[in-house]
Structure 1
Amino acid sequence: MVFSFSATPDFDFITYFARHLQATLTDGVLEVPETLGQGYVRKLAFGPDFKITLHHYLLQEELVIKRNASGLGNDLITIFFYNNEQPLGIAYDNQPHVLFSRRDDSDSAIQVTSNDLSSTIRFPAHQPIQYMVVAIKPTRLKELLAVSAPNSVLQTITGRGNSFLFFERMEAETKLLLKKMAAVDMTDGLSTFFMQNKVQELLYLVFHKLSLRESVVHQPINSADAGRLLHIRKEILRDLSAPPVLRELAQLAAMSETKLKQLFKQTFGATIYTYYQQARMEEAAFLLKHGRRSVAQVGYELGFSNLSHFSRLFEKHYGLNPKKFSAS
């Protein structure tokens, strides 16, 4: 099933999605027809410039949601929270899909983007899907954040007409908030008030982390750049036993080395090598906990010829050496 739309300023996702599914839409709730699966999509509006859409369903066929840039510029910020065991595929500018998933307490997708980037998200069939999308106008977000001296990231996001894409990690506190929001009784008369407060908590957690990023001049990004960056991320994670080679990655991305370094750090919040090392340590932690491997086996599998160096790096990242971490 493919649902394609253009991100115009007046577009209302749930209305058009209901028509696409031939589903009933009542009081902002779309019930998935039994012929297609089960579950719902719910929209809550906290004014004309601030709304959320909660997706909670299981479908009998794969769902592909394609957002096409309207060409009218950016006047809306989208914050996408995906907290599911099953991986989802994200692509930009018709590039191959790149999988994002949550494995144990590791990586999840929080995506902050302008609505002038074309993207495709692919959700698997026969799997429970839970995610939330916040849509907010830059002026409303700026008013909510009320930051007197914002860094370049917050300036870019809350400014008008900027094109941007930022990814952030989903920490335990964010996951807990999303679970609370998914479980709330919406028949309660104060449920909308509760949800608005929880959404603002979520926004605080995301934008607090973004506010700590290095303040540098923002480099404009387009859909093609975004697609190439996700492809580079995939290439970095493909083989964690070998460090990335910047020259080769730049050739793969069809970018200069300088542009690739700038856009990668801007989008993911870390340099290419730091991102690689973080992923390497996270993979080590997973293998030690769940892979039934010894410290030596994990170290060698991840390309460390010096196990003392592996232990020092791991302890710096997790506060415990690999042996103690494995036993904890």
Structure 2
Amino acid sequence: MLFRFSATPDFDFITYFARHLQTPIHNGVLEIPEKLGQGSIRKVAFGPDFKITLHHYLLQEELLLERTASGLGNELVTIFFYDNEQALGIAYNQEPPVLFSQRTESAIQVTSNDLSSTIRFPAQQRIQYVVVAITPTRLTELLALRDPNSVLQTITGRGNSFLFFESMPAEARLLLTKLMTVDLQASLSQFYLQIKVQELLYLVFQKLSLRENATHQPLNSADAARLLEVRQALLRDLSVPPVLRELAHVAAMSETKLKQLFKQTFGTPIYSYYQQARMEEAAFLLKHGRYSVAQVGYELGFSNLSHFSRLFEKHYGQNPKKFSVS
């Protein structure tokens, strides 16, 4: 199933998607028809310039959500929180999809509405993600920034094209769980939701505010697609360190431009991103894969296990052995 839309400020996803499914909306809730799956999409608006959509469902067939560029510049800031355990395929500029899930270091996506993208939802898998849409003006009022860094200036300014990724902290996952389980008919539910959504935004923009000041490099849908290809190449085999020259070839960019855009988008240099992903995979394998410390180290390309232990302890505050039994 394919659903195309343009993310203009006045676009209401749930209304148009309900028409596409030929399904009614009751009190802001779209129940997925039994013939298509199970679950729901819920929308709550905190005014015409600030709304949240909560997706929680399982579908009988694959769903493609194709968002086309609005052509209006940055008239709407969209924040995606990918809270599903199974990975979703996300693509820009009609390129092949790249997988994201709550366990990836890029589970939160902040983007302007002038970039085209596609999200691929697999069939027969539980889908859970949240979308916050807010105008730059309303966001500026909420953040009440005194001295914003260049990243926040870009996001809250008008006419800027941007794409930023962040990891999903534990506090954000807890907030998303609370949002998903709120009874929309309960007294003060909208007030409660607005507080929790603002907490969620605080966690995202607090992290973005810590990024270093740098001149923002313009970004288009083709650039976004190439950066995701680079990320996929970077993470394809975590036992092999990245080679900048090869990644620049994948991106069809100069090495300088790739380094600038990658750090701008993902918040960290290419090699640091690779090392962080390595450590997160190590932590996951130690906790859930029943691997020994030596097996994990060698699996991730460490010939020196002492170096692996030191690097792991630097990231997690304890050595791999203690971490695996904690």
Does the alignment reach a TM-score above 0.5?
A: yes
Aligned length: 326
1:300 paired to 2:298: yes
TM-score, structure 1 as length reference: 0.97
Mapped to 1, the partners of 2:322 and 2:11 lie a distance apart of 53
Mapped to 2, the partners of 1:11 and 1:229 lie a distance apart of 28
Which residue is 2:38 aligned to?
Answer: 38
**Which aligned pairs between 1:167-178 and structure 2 lie closer than 5 A?**
167-178=165-176
Give the 3-state SS of the residue equivalent to 1:20 in structure 2: helix
TM-score, structure 2 as length reference: 0.97
Which residue is 2:78 aligned to?
Answer: 78
List per-residue Cα deviations over 1:80-106 (Å, max 9, x = no partner).
111111110000001110001234xx6
Per-residue deviation, 1:108: 5.8
Per-residue deviation, 1:223: 0.4
**Which aligned pairs between 1:314-325 and structure 2 lie closer than 5 A?**
314-325=312-323
| Letter in structure 1 aligned against 2:281 | E
* Aligned residues of 1:114 and 1:162 also touching (Cα < 8 A): yes
Mapped to 2, the partners of 1:128 and 1:151 lie a distance apart of 37
* Aligned residues of 2:8 and 2:76 also touching (Cα < 8 A): no
Q: CA RMSD in A?
A: 1.2
* Aligned residues of 1:77 and 1:135 also touching (Cα < 8 A): yes
Which residue is 1:284 aligned to?
Answer: 282
| Letter in structure 2 aligned against 1:290 | H
Which residue is 2:194 aligned to?
Answer: 196
Mapped to 2, the partners of 1:165 and 1:220 lie a distance apart of 10
Give the 3-state SS of the residue equivalent to 1:232 in structure 2: helix
Which residue is 2:60 aligned to?
Answer: 60
Which residue is 1:94 aligned to?
Answer: 94
Give the 3-state SS of the residue equivalent to 1:3 in structure 2: strand
**Which aligned pairs between 1:109-124 and structure 2 lie closer than 5 A?**
109-124=107-122
**Which aligned pairs between 1:119-158 and structure 2 lie closer than 5 A?**
119-158=117-156
* Aligned residues of 2:63 and 2:120 also touching (Cα < 8 A): yes
**Which aligned pairs between 1:122-271 and structure 2 lie closer than 5 A?**
122-271=120-269
Which residue is 2:3 aligned to?
Answer: 3
Mapped to 1, the partners of 2:47 and 2:137 lie a distance apart of 13
* Aligned residues of 2:50 and 2:132 also touching (Cα < 8 A): yes
List per-residue Cα deviations over 1:148-203 (Å, max 9, x = no partner).
00000000000000000001111110011111111112111210111011110100
* Aligned residues of 1:109 and 1:168 also touching (Cα < 8 A): yes
Per-residue deviation, 1:289: 2.1
In structure 1, runs of 5+ residues without a counterpart are: none
Mapped to 1, the partners of 2:9 and 2:25 lie a distance apart of 21
Percent of counterpart pairs with the same letter? Answer: 78
Mapped to 2, the partners of 1:179 and 1:190 lie a distance apart of 18
List per-residue Cα deviations over 1:115-169 (Å, max 9, x = no partner).
0000000111112211111110001000100010000000000000000000111
Mapped to 2, the partners of 1:234 and 1:255 lie a distance apart of 16
List per-residue Cα deviations over 1:205-232 (Å, max 9, x = no partner).
0000000011111111100000000110
Mapped to 1, the partners of 2:202 and 2:298 lie a distance apart of 40
The structure 1 segments of at least 4 consecutive aligned residues displaced by more than 3 Å after TM superposition are: none
